[in-house]
Amino acid sequence: MDKYSKVVEELIQFRNDREWEQFHDSKNLALAISIEAAELNELFLWKKEEEVENINKDRLKEELADILSFSFLLAEKHNLDVFDIISEKIKNNALKYPVDKAKGTAKKYNEL
């Protein structure tokens, strides 16, 4: 079993042991991702540029774990393979952001 499958299995077991599946509909999982992402942003709030790369790593790990956990559960609920959908997104972005136009710029694809 690969790492991803093992983690998803552990998440599902954790959830099921607590009978939380009833709360894990798509809407609530999406909201949980958004809320946890806001908590991640809070780590950087009001920090100066030189401070942002030195935030508390334990808090960073905690917030990322929450975001990824809910993301994995939402993907699993819809039978989506996280690695497949990320690979697909990279391929689509490569078309939208060709290296010769996008290299070194943060402009959106429709501004290139």
Write down the pLDDT at residue 5: 93
Q: What is the pTM of this model?
A: 0.90
Write down the pLDDT at residue 112: 87
Least confident of 35-49, 63-77, 98-112: 98-112
User: CATH code at 53?
Assistant: 1.10.287.1080
Residue labelled with tokens 């010769």: 100
Boundaries of domain holding 90:
81-112
Q: How many CA atoms lie within 13 A of 45 on its CB side?
A: 7
Residue 67 and residue 96 share a domain: no
Which run of H or E residues covers position 11? helix 3-17
Residue 34 and residue 67 share a domain: yes
Write down the pLDDT at residue 1: 84
Residue 15 and residue 59 share a domain: yes
Number of domains in the chain: 2
**Tens digit of pLDDT for each residue in 1-42?**
899 999 999 999 999 999 999 999 999 999 999 999 999 999
